[in-house]
Each structure stands twice: as structure tokens, then as C-alpha cells.
């Protein structure tokens, strides 16, 4: 079966002013529309992979914008290096004990990989003013940086940024959403 069912008159004389049937017009229109859609979707062909983030003590998952894949070796789900998000208590920048091993693994990796650099992002939940949350996010990023530096990472290889409440991992005004948004994210380059 011919996938392009144009009439022989249309195929033989496909130029402006050539005779073709109304059915040919519909087929040509469909082909053009398909081509436009294919080209438009082609620009979306390789989106960045995003990892899932679990809230502490929660079975619910969400995709974090900042949890981007890193260099090879960092994406093994059985490795602590694949975990790049740590969570904080409300209004706190204290590193919780359950994240110490994750930070130690990242410190070893960055300290022993000469070209590795890390961007530490500080995030907060939606409560509080924009200014307060930017400052709290900065304290969280700096607390994580200080922890990595204490473990031997050169401070010059670490950048920090605070997004405050501007980039939530999940939307919502409840404790589960807030817990997932009070986080630090390590982006290893």
C-alpha cells in the first residue's frame, strides 16, 4: 500500500498550477502538518535526565529540578554518590547525622578527582519572607560547604548559591511538601 496516496496526475505534475484533486490537497496538508510536528518535537528529543527525590520518612517521590546527572560513576543507584540531596529541619542549617556518609562519599570523590567541582544549592520551604529564605538557603549551602572543606575538599572547587523558596522541589502548603523543599542539592561538575 502506498503510504502517500497522491493521484498519478499530482505526482507527475507537482508544481504550482498543476492539476490535483481535493483529496491530494488533504494528503499534502497532512504531510506538511506531520513534517512540522516532527521538526518541532525533534527539538525536544534529548531532555536532561532527572532523578527522583524522596522526602525523609515519606514514600512519595518527586522530580527535583536541580538533581541533575553528574559525571560517570556518580549515577550508580547503589552508591552514596548518586544521592545528591540532603534535607534540613525547619529553620535550620545543621547537617543531620543521616547525611554524613553521603557527604563523606562526595568529599572523597571531589578530593580525589582533580577536575571535579561542586555547586551547592540551598533551598527552603515557602514559609517566611523572600529575603529570610534566601539567607537561610545561603546558610544551608555554606554549612554543607564547610562540612566538605573540613573533610579535605579544596574550598576553591566549591561554589554556593541560595535559591531560597524560589525553586521548590514540590508544590504544596503542607508538612510533606515543606520537608521536601528544605534541602541542599549537590551538583557535581
Do 56 and 28 share a domain, yes or no?
Answer: no
Tell me, rounded to whole angstroms, the distance of Cα 186 from its chain centroid.
12
Do 17 and 62 share a domain, yes or no?
Answer: no
Do 35 and 62 share a domain, yes or no?
Answer: no
Do 129 and 171 share a domain, yes or no?
Answer: yes
pLDDT of residue 8 exceeding 60, the answer is no
CATH number for the domain spanning 166: value is 3.30.1330.60
* 2 in a structural domain: no
What pLDDT digit, counting tens, does each position of 137-154 carry? 999 999 999 999 999 999
Domain that includes residue 12, residue range: 8-42
Task: Output the average pLDDT for the chain.
Answer: 77
* 19 in a structural domain: yes
- How far apart CA 81 and CA 104 sit, in angstroms, is 9
Range with the lowest mean pLDDT among 37-41, 64-68, 161-165? 64-68
- Using the 8-state DSSP alphabet, how is residue 74 labeled? S
Do 118 and 28 share a domain, yes or no?
Answer: no
Domain total for the chain? Answer: 2
* 116 in a structural domain: yes
* 182 in a structural domain: yes
Do 15 and 74 share a domain, yes or no?
Answer: no
Amino acid at each position: 500500500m502506498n503510504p502517500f496516496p497522491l493521484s498519478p496526475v499530482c505526482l507527475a505534475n507537482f508544481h504550482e498550477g498543476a492539476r490535483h484533486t481535493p483529496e491530494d490537497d488533504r494528503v499534502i496538508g497532512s504531510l506538511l502538518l506531520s513534517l512540522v510536528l516532527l521538526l518541532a518535537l525533534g527539538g525536544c528529543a534529548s531532555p536532561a535526565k532527572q532523578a527522583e527525590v524522596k522526602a525523609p520518612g515519606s514514600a512519595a517521590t518527586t522530580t527535583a529540578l536541580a538533581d541533575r546527572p553528574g559525571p560517570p560513576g556518580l549515577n550508580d543507584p547503589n552508591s552514596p554518590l548518586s544521592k545528591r540531596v540532603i534535607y534540613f529541619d525547619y529553620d535550620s542549617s545543621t547537617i543531620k547525622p543521616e547525611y554524613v556518609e553521603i557527604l563523606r562519599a562526595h568529599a572523597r570523590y571531589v578530593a580525589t578527582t582533580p577536575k571535579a567541582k561542586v555547586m551547592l544549592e540551598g533551598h527552603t520551604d515557602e514559609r517566611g519572607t523572600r529575603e529570610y529564605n534566601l539567607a537561610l538557603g545561603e546558610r544551608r549551602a555554606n554549612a554543607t560547604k564547610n562540612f566538605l572543606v573540613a573533610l579535605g575538599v579544596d574550598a576553591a572547587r566549591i561554589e554556593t548559591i541560595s535559591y531560597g523558596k524560589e525553586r521548590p522541589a514540590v508544590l504544596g502548603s503542607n508538612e510533606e511538601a515543606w520537608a521536601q523543599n528544605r534541602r541542599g542539592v549537590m551538583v557535581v561538575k
